[in-house]
């Protein structure tokens, strides 16, 4: 089967960079939802799916070119642990893609001349399922075969869900990224990006040098970009320099606001301002980022200003 065309290409032909969305959970919490649960934002797939659709629409109206589904912390084992059956768990994963597609349909009825936004199915790391903050540490203590067994069923469901691409994100370790590239290589009709979480300006969260990770990752026709997300914004510039020196993959970045995270309390501490985050964004594009957006604590209002800052 031939690899499908690059869905990012129309955007990059029309503008300097692609605008990603921000934190789904951030927007849901701002709308009054309590996400202190092992499923995090994925809980609302079961309890209030309309709230998720609304946040997707909010990001689209703010100017995001890509919205990311509520499947980051959604997994079959995670749903089964909540008492759902396998069929119910699979249906919720399918719902995560449908909600984003529905939001896009609403947006295009409002703005029929707009370039058709993309839907990216979020593939969160094994650490997100553990719900203990280990996506910021790595070192899960499981084998690559265990990771493949965890990711493969969700991968199959999401790739069949009518999305434009998959966002394999907040990956703290190279071994998990390699499991996902193996799945991508076996699914040539799918397109994806990989995005690492990094602990400083040179290393993944588990300590692997970013340069080593880039050197090791395979070049695949359907691997569209490699990025950095849920990483403090002050590290993004040096990480982009490493990616630029490699020259192996297009780069995208969607850092958090820069605050610390308490995995036990499931709360963010105070950190740098939104204004400082936005002021850094033009330098990220100048350093080679083809896509820019936000992660935790970056909401629709910030994405709207980001688009104005970068593209107007």
CATH of the domain at 298: 3.20.20.330
The answer to the question of residue 14 being in a domain is yes
Q: Please determine, for residue 225, whether its predicted confidence score (pLDDT) is greater than 60.
A: yes
Q: Give the Å distances, CA to CA, from 215 to 55, 123, 241, 243.
A: 37, 22, 14, 10
Q: Which of 75-89, 90-104, 205-219, 224-238 has the lowest mean pLDDT?
A: 75-89
Domain that holds residue 55: 9-311
Q: What does DSSP assign to residue 42?
A: G
Residue 160, classed as helix, strand or coil, is coil
43 lies in some domain: yes
Residue 102 lies in a domain: yes
Task: Determine the Cα–Cα distance for residues 253 and 250; give it in Å rounded to an integer.
Answer: 10
Q: Which of 194, 193, 154, 201 is nearest to 171 (CA)?
A: 194
281 is a domain residue:
yes
CA–CA gap between residue 82 and residue 136 (Å, rounded): 24
Mean pLDDT of the chain: 92
Total domains in the chain come to: 1
Position 2 in a domain: no
CB-neighbour burial class of residue 147 (10 A; exposed 0-12, middle 13-18, buried 19+) = buried
What are the pLDDT digits (tens) for 120-168? 999 999 998 988 888 888 888 899 999 999 999 999 999 998 999 999 9
Distance between CA 72 and CA 183 in Å, rounded?
17
CB count within 10 Å of CB 145 equals 9
Structural domain includes residue 108: yes
Q: In whole angstroms, give the CA distance from residue 176 to residue 140.
A: 10
Helix (H, G, I), strand (E, B) or coil at 175: helix
For the segment 60-89, what is each residue's pLDDT rounded down to a tens digit? 999 999 999 999 988 899 889 888 999 999
Residue 113 has pLDDT above 50, yes or no: yes
Residue 28 lies in a domain: yes
**Is there a domain that residue 20 lies in?**
yes
pLDDT single digits (tens) 170-206: 999 999 999 999 999 999 999 999 999 999 999 999 9
Residues 6+ apart with CB under 8 A from 74: 39, 42, 45, 92, 93, 96, 124, 154
Question: pLDDT of 254-302, one tens digit each?
Answer: 999 987 666 565 565 666 689 999 999 999 999 999 999 999 999 999 9
Pick the residue with more confidence: 31 or 88?
Answer: 88
Long-range CB pairs of 4-7, under 8 A, 24+ apart, other chains included: 4/189, 4/190, 4/191, 4/222, 6/191, 6/224, 7/118, 7/164, 7/165, 7/191, 7/224
């Amino acid at each position: 089967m031939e690899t499908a065309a690059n869905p990012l290409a129309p955007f990059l032909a029309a503008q300097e960079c692609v605008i990603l969305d921000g934190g789904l959970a951030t927007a849901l919490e701002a709308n009054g939802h309590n996400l202190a649960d092992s499923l995090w934002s994925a809980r609302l797939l079961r309890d209030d799916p309309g709230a998720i659709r609304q946040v997707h629409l909010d990001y689209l109206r703010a100017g995001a070119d890509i919205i990311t589904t509520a499947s980051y912390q959604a997994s079959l084992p995670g749903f089964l642990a909540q008492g759902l059956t396998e069929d119910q768990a699979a249906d919720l994963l399918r719902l995560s893609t449908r909600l984003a597609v529905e939001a896009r349909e609403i947006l295009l009825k409002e703005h029929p001349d707009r370039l058709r936004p993309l839907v990216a199915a979020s593939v969160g790391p094994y650490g997100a399922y553990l719900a203990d903050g280990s996506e910021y540490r790595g070192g899960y203590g499981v084998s690559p075969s265990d990771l493949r067994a965890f990711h493969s069923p969700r991968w199959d469901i999401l790739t069949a869900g009518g999305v434009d691409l998959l966002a394999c994100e907040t990956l703290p370790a190279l071994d998990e990224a390699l499991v996902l590239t193996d799945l991508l290589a076996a699914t040539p009709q799918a397109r994806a990006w990989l995005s690492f979480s990094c602990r400083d300006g040179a290393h993944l969260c588990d300590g692997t040098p970013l340069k080593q990770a880039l050197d090791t990752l395979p070049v695949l026709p359907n691997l569209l970009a490699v990025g950095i997300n849920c990483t403090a914004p002050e590290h993004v510039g040096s990480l982009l320099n490493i990616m630029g020196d490699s020259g192996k993959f297009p780069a995208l970045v969607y850092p958090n606001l820069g605050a610390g995270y308490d995995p036990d309390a499931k709360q963010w501490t105070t950190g740098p301002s939104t204004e400082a985050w936005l002021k850094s964004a033009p330098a990220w594009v100048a350093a080679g980022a083809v896509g820019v957006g936000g992660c935790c604590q970056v909401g629709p209002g910030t994405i709207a200003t980001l688009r104005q800052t970068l593209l107007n």
